[in-house]
Amino acid sequence: MIYSSRALALVLSFSVSVITAIFLSFFDSITGKILIVSSLVIFSISFSLVFILLEYVIFRQIEEVGKLISRLKRKEIDQGANHRTSVLKPLRGIANDVFSLAESKQQEIDQLKKLEAFRKEFIADVSHELKTPIFAAQGFVHTLLDGAVNDKGVRIKFLRKAAKSLDGLDSLVQDLLTLSHIETGQIKMHFESFDMYELAEEVFEQFENKSDKKEIALRIESENRRVFVYADRQRIAQVMTNLISNAIKHSTDPGEVIVRFQTGKKSVHVSVEDSGEGIPAEHLPRIFERFYRVDKSRSREKGGTGLGLAIVKHILDGHNTRAEVESDVGKGSVFSFKLPRKKHEKDGSE
């Protein structure tokens, strides 16, 4: 770059000295000797000034901008690496600003690409999940319209199946709305002290018939029969309902589902254990994603919207805690989370 600035300085200085010589030649008092000396002096001064200007203000700074852009392309960003002193630094500041702006815009572009990919995947998943109950209900209704409605036994059977499909559709829509409201902050957490042991018993009561049909024993293990936590009771009830429902659904017949409470100094560790088929290790990182199913065909046979664990994750995120899972294939899975204890509580009982 120094050769480029020197050459340009020579050209500009020579041009200035020639123009000056032509201008001085119009004066009769200027002799040839004075004209030559004046041209050389002006050339020297012009060369020095132009060279310094080009070297330090323009070419050196443009070179720095080029280096920064190259580093951006290679994603090797180190804004603090350049500590060289310079006579003038205005363009370097501009270069750094341009560099920072380009970096932030690139991050925004990458984020938008991820969001767009997520949006497309989510729409595809929702469309697929909605089609299943809708097509099933359509099939039963059209069969009835085609003449099966005249057979009382077939009519009742198909109407019940159509109603079951529509109930599944309603559950899916409700879960989607719940998930959307939680993510957008429309559902606020209302924290209070309540008994987790009592809550678990209430949820067990909801699933007594289902567990009895599958010969699944429901059991609570805790050192104390009163386990107080500080959280949103309604939302934690939803968490427990989803986890216990999944545990019953995936447990073998006969089997058992165990809810455990382990009370620590500041928090209560809650776990839900099943005796099911377990989850392969490669699927564990993704089971809390919307509509993610380890075995899609078997999962749909067992029912569910595919949103239960995603709702669990978001509710627990709203409590500044997280859901964890441990699983052994062929033995079962354990889902767990922690909640803060009741304020001013010193032990597990009152």
- Express each pLDDT in 120-147 by its tens digit: 655 666 665 667 677 777 787 887 787 7
Residue 94 has pLDDT above 70, yes or no: no
Tell me what the mean pLDDT of segment 54-71 comes to.
60
**217 three-state secondary structure:** strand
CB 298 within 8 A of CB 290: no
pLDDT tens string 170-196: 777 777 777 777 767 667 888 999 999
Q: In which residue are the tokens 């809550």 written?
A: 199
CA distance 94 to 101: 10
Work out the number of other CB atoms within 10 angstroms of the CB of residue 263: 20
**pLDDT level of residue 87 (50, 70, 90 thresholds):** very low
**Ramachandran sector of residue 328 (left: φ over 0; alpha: ψ -120 to 50; beta: rest):** beta
**pLDDT level of residue 340 (50, 70, 90 thresholds):** very high
Work out the number of other CB atoms within 10 angstroms of the CB of residue 232: 20
CA distance 163 to 157: 10
Cα 225 to Cα 2, 17, 31, 183, 262, distances in angstroms: 83, 101, 116, 34, 12
Tell me what the mean pLDDT of segment 195-211 comes to.
92
304-322 b/e with 16+ CB inside 10 Å = b? bbbbbbbbbbbbbebbebe
Residue 104 has pLDDT above 70, yes or no: yes
Token representation of residue 58: 């323009």
Report the pLDDT value the prediction gives residue 244, as an integer from 0 to 100: 93
Per the prediction, the chain carries an average pLDDT of 75
CA distance 176 to 124: 14
Report the pLDDT value the prediction gives residue 22, as an integer from 0 to 100: 66
> What is the length of the chain?
350
CA distance 321 to 339: 7
CA distance 337 to 8: 71
Work out the number of other CB atoms within 10 angstroms of the CB of residue 245: 19
> Which of residues 324 and 349 earns the better pLDDT score?
324
> Which of residues 205 and 303 earns the better pLDDT score?
205
Q: Provide the H-helix boundaries in the chain.
A: 2-24, 32-52, 60-73, 90-145, 152-183, 196-206, 208-214, 233-250, 296-301, 308-317
Q: Among 110-114, 119-123, 188-192, 214-218, which is the least confidently predicted range?
A: 119-123
327: nearest Cα among 249, 254, 271: 271
